[in-house]
Every structure is written in C-alpha cells, then in structure tokens.
Amino acid sequence: MKSLQTYNGNDLGAVYAKQSTQFRLWAPTAERVQICFYATGDGGEVVEVKDMQPDEGGTWVYTKSGDLHQLYYTYLVTVNGKTQETNDPYGKATGVNGKRSMVVNLEKTNPEGFEEDHGPEVKKWTDIVVYELSVLDTTSAENTGVVNKGKYIGLTETGTKTPEGIPTGLDHILDLGVTHVQIMPSYDFGSIDESKPEEPQYNWGYDPINYNVPEGSFSTDPFHGEVRIKEYKEMVQSFHKHGLGVIMDVVYNHTYDIENNCFQKCVPDYYYRMTEDGEYSDASACGNEVASDHPMVRKFIIDSLKYWVSEYHIDGFRFDLMGVLDIETMNQAAVELKKINPSIIIYGEGWTGGPSTIPDEERALKCNVPALVDVGAFSDDIRDAVRGDVFIEEEIGFISGRQNMENDIRYSVVGATKHPEVDYEAYEYSEGPWAKNPVDIVNYVSCHDNLTLWDKISVSCPKATREEKLSMNRLATAMVFTAQGIPFFLSGEEFARTKPIEGTDEVCENSYNMPFYTNVMRYEGVEENRELYEYYKGLIAFRKAHEGLRFGTTEEVQEHLHFVDGLPKNVVAFTIKTDEETIFVVYNGNKKAVKIDLPEKAEWNIHVDDTKASAEVLRTVTDTEVEVQGVACLVAVAK
C-alpha cells in the first residue's frame, strides 16, 4: 500500500471535557466523514448527524459542546463513494456488543482510592510466578460460592468456598502464593453476544472488536458502557490490594474479521498485511494479519498498550502470536511502557500460525529474542522436552520415559541461555541458545492451549496408574520451578485439571468454544488431589526463598550453575552455588530409584522430594549419597 499521511498527536478518539468533547478520526483516504450521535448503545434512531472537518495528518475533527458523558456515537466514513457506519477505533467505551462507541468521563469510573492504586514492584522478571486464568473459568462453576459468577467483580469476592469448605476464586489464588495473574482476553471481543447474558455462551475471546474497551459479557451490565470500565478497575484494584500483579493477554496480531472491522471501514486495507497477489496475509491462521509495521498501526498498538497501563493500571502484557508483530513495534512499546511503569512485564508467543509477508528477521519470533529489548518469550523447548510434543498427543517426554533427553533438559535448565555445559550442536529443537538472559524466557508445561498437563499425561500414558500420573505431574512442575527463567502455569494445573467432553470418555485439546462443562474450574479437585496441590504451593514458596533459582543474567547462570557428569541414564543433576548456600537438584526420569552422590560432605536439608515440596526443611541427610525415587525431583540445600 502506498504511504499515507500520518498523525502523531495523542488526541485520537473522543477527548472528553466537561464543557465539550473533541472527536478526531484518522481516515486519510476518506472523501467525507460524519459523526452520528445516539441516546443509547443499541436501538433507537440517530439523534444528530454532523460533518467532520479534514485536519492535519489525514485526520477529521468535530467538537461538540456540553457534558457528553454517556452519549453514544459512530462515524460515517465515505471512501471511493462507499459510505459505512463504524465504531471508533480509539473508542474507550461502547454500548452492547461494541457497535457504538460512547463518550465517557473516566474519572467517574474510578473506584474509591483508585488514583493511589498500583501493582507490585518487580525488580527482575524471574522473581515472578505467573498463574493463567479465565474470568469465566475461575468462578463460573455452580459450587464456587461466588455471587457474581463469570464476572470481573466475581474475582474481587473473598471468603468464597465450595459447600465442602474449599476456598475458590480469589482466595484460592492467594492461597497458592503466586505473584501475578495472567488474564485471558478481557478486551471487547466478538464471539459472545453480550445482549443475551441469560444464555450460556463460552469463548476464550481471541477475536478482538474494540481493543481499548473491556469485554461486556464479564460485566454485570453490558448495555451501559461505563459499568464494564468501573468493574474492570475494581477487579484490578482488588488483585493489587492483595499483592498480585495483573498481566493482560492481548491479541494485536489479528481482528475478529475484516469487512466489519472499524479499521477496514476507516482506512480500507491499511491495517492488514497483503500478499503480492492482493490476498490477505494470514500468519495468525485466523483469516487476517494486522500490519504492525505500518506507522499508524504501530502507533495504534503502542497507544492502546499505554492506555491500559495508565488508565487501568495493568502490570504487564502477554502477546498472542507475538511472532506476527514486528520487532520495532515491540521494542518501541517496551520503551514507552517502562516510562509509565518501570516494573512492566512483557512477553509473548514467539511464533506464528503461518507464513507472513514480512521477513523472518523483522518479526518478534523466539529466534529473534536477542533483538528484542525488555521483551520475553514462551519456551516451547521445556514444554515439549518435559511432557512430549504438544501437537502429537501420544508422544511422551522426559517425565514419561522418553530416552536420551538429558542434553535437552540441560538446555531448559539454563533457560535457553548460553552455557558451556550444554551441547548446542546436539540440541535439535531450537537453533542454539535463543534467550539473552533468563528473564527473557517463560517456562511452562501447560496453558489454555492444547491438552492440560494432566490430560497430556493421561493420553500419552494410557496404561499409567493414578499414582504414576501424579508422579509425572509433580516432576514436570518441579522442573519448571527449578529451571532458570519465569515459571508459568495454567489455573487448575495444581489440582490435576482436566477438560472433559460431556457425554464421552474423551478430553478436549482445544476448548476455545466448548461449553462450561469442559472449561470450568472444579475446585473439588483440590481435596481430591491435596498432596499435589500442596506440592505446587511448596514449590512456589521454595522458589521465592532461594535467589539461586531466580538469576537475572546469563553470566550469573554460567558462574553459579554447574551440571553433574557421570550419572545414570535419564538422570539430570546440577548444583547452584552462591555465597549463602549450595542448591543440589536432581531429576530422575526412570521408573526406578537411583542413588546419587552428594556434591560435597555437608549437612543437606531436603526441601523437595517425590511427594512433598516446601520452603521448610522436610528432613536432613549427612550421608555422602542420596536416593532419588523414580520419576521424581529431589532438591537439597547446604548452607
């Protein structure tokens, strides 16, 4: 597409003041732009239509006098003789289903004390523990005791329990001890009809409509645009009050559709990448691909991110299919966001869903993390090495008996950084070390995508007993929490969460639009898997207590972390020596126990074994060797 005029101002959209509101739309190819005013967010006739005036940088401007708080509006944009009505790309509030934008006095949406609200200070990203949750999944089950099930404010409720007394929702999250929640899509998305709250509807929401507006179906009133804003802020404020950071899952790589999208109606084909044949590029595998490298698209993405941080106090972002976006956009975003919040956390999926029209070297792919600044990426390396290939459901990994994985596990232990004791020529999953430092890598073995950890173990090891599967689960998560990098896990993984398909014996691999039956959190699983749940809690507490598991730089890992040679097959062991202590970690992937020499003669405090994990000492050994049970992790500490 030929280059168009660009606009650098910070007043796109509706800029509210009590005396008047200014509306500014970037539409450089338009022949005419009008603004329509409505009394309600849906239905009813247009109240007034006014011509907007062309202004600098390809923008159109109109100013209306009076206090316009809660007045709804749309634009009529005429391009090449075709006129289409559209919501405002920069809209901050909308009516039901996001079709009409709304003028909003944002000060009126602030909960009491919100001006002083802020998230936790983060010194380095490896200090955090990320818990991925869905607004719907976390509180929607009938037995949660939550009043506002599936709503933003449902996540503010405390003291909620199942009839058996098991803590749910926010109390459950706080009991675990995680530091940050990562919330699945919560901007306004298109796959749920907000006008029918009485109907059971489910979707993950990876289909954006209004990027700067909270999703209405998670509010108690989707018809009045200010309600969802206030309730979203109440949710964030509640998490912050309890010491938790809030990371927002964002999807700037594609939109719900093209023809009905405000981007396309305002400036046709500018916001999407096109092939040489005039087709829409599809690196997102969703039918379109946002052209983040175009100046005004880049500006929109960065402006949107800044808005969520400044207005909603968001503490970080997880980028869906970050590899679709360009490196320059990601780097500029990081610079701008750190100016607002120095503790901001930014990471994403370092891959795409298909080929893109921009060169690989310009894309925010995992292999290009060295070119990214203050932006991390998920490690599919540790995921697939530990549990088996995510796309081959029956394939096993280290925890389930796959052979010759020792070097692959070493690669993940050092957080995909450069280390002299890893054989990178023999490592085939990725080409060499791709993380500059451990803070660049997010380690995980399950997330919302693909089979849950428990389901993957069950499908790939159909003959395993329940106890054997629990051992695999414990070993997998112990590896995530003792590897260098940022630990991340899916909500419910801590109690063997499964995603059953109702009426069958099968589990769901991609539950994005499956019913609540498949997706909801079943908190009774905490009691059924109490030992596993306590194991997760113990690992989190232990990691927090030991700096050696949370190095921030590659140099620290190289200096302090060393692997043990001469071990039995399917066993990986390493020491982490600091001035305060020596941490000794062993992973045994064999079904039988093995005896391992301790690194030095000392009094060794065991903190993690085959069934328990704790920041407190489980037991003390003074022998020269230690027995590590089959399919288990052992962690010992000597002062």
Catalytic positions: 320, 349
How many angstroms separate the Cα of 339 from the Cα of each of 217, 309, 366, 395? Answer: 32, 11, 25, 45
CA distance 385 to 378: 14
The phi-psi region of residue 424 (left if phi > 0; otherwise alpha if psi is between -120 and 50; otherwise beta) is: alpha
8 Å CB contact between 186 and 215: yes
Give CA torsion, residues 498, 500, 504, 505, to 10 deg. -10
Residue type, 36: C
For the chain, how many residues are written? 639
Q: Number of C-alpha atoms within 13 angstroms, CB side, residue 419?
A: 30
CA distance 309 to 250: 13
DSSP H helical segments within 414-452, as ranges? none
Residue type, 174: L
The closest alpha carbon to 445, from 387, 495, 496, 510, belongs to 387
* Secondary structure of residue 253 in the 3-state scheme: coil
- Distance of alpha carbon 432 from the chain centroid: 26
State the CB neighbour count (10 A cutoff) for residue 237. 22
CA distance 67 to 107: 13
Q: Sign of the CA dihedral 211, 217, 219, 223? A: positive
Angle at which helices 466-482 and 453-460 cross, to 10°? 130
The DSSP element (H or E) to which 628 belongs, if any, is: strand 625-628
State the CB neighbour count (10 A cutoff) for residue 342. 10
What φ, ψ does residue 139 adopt, rounded to 5°? -130, 0
β-bridge partners, 77: 33, 84
CA distance 346 to 361: 20
State the CB neighbour count (10 A cutoff) for residue 216. 28
CA distance 257 to 504: 33
8 Å CB contact between 203 and 233: no
Angle at which helices 466-482 and 530-545 cross, to 10°? 10
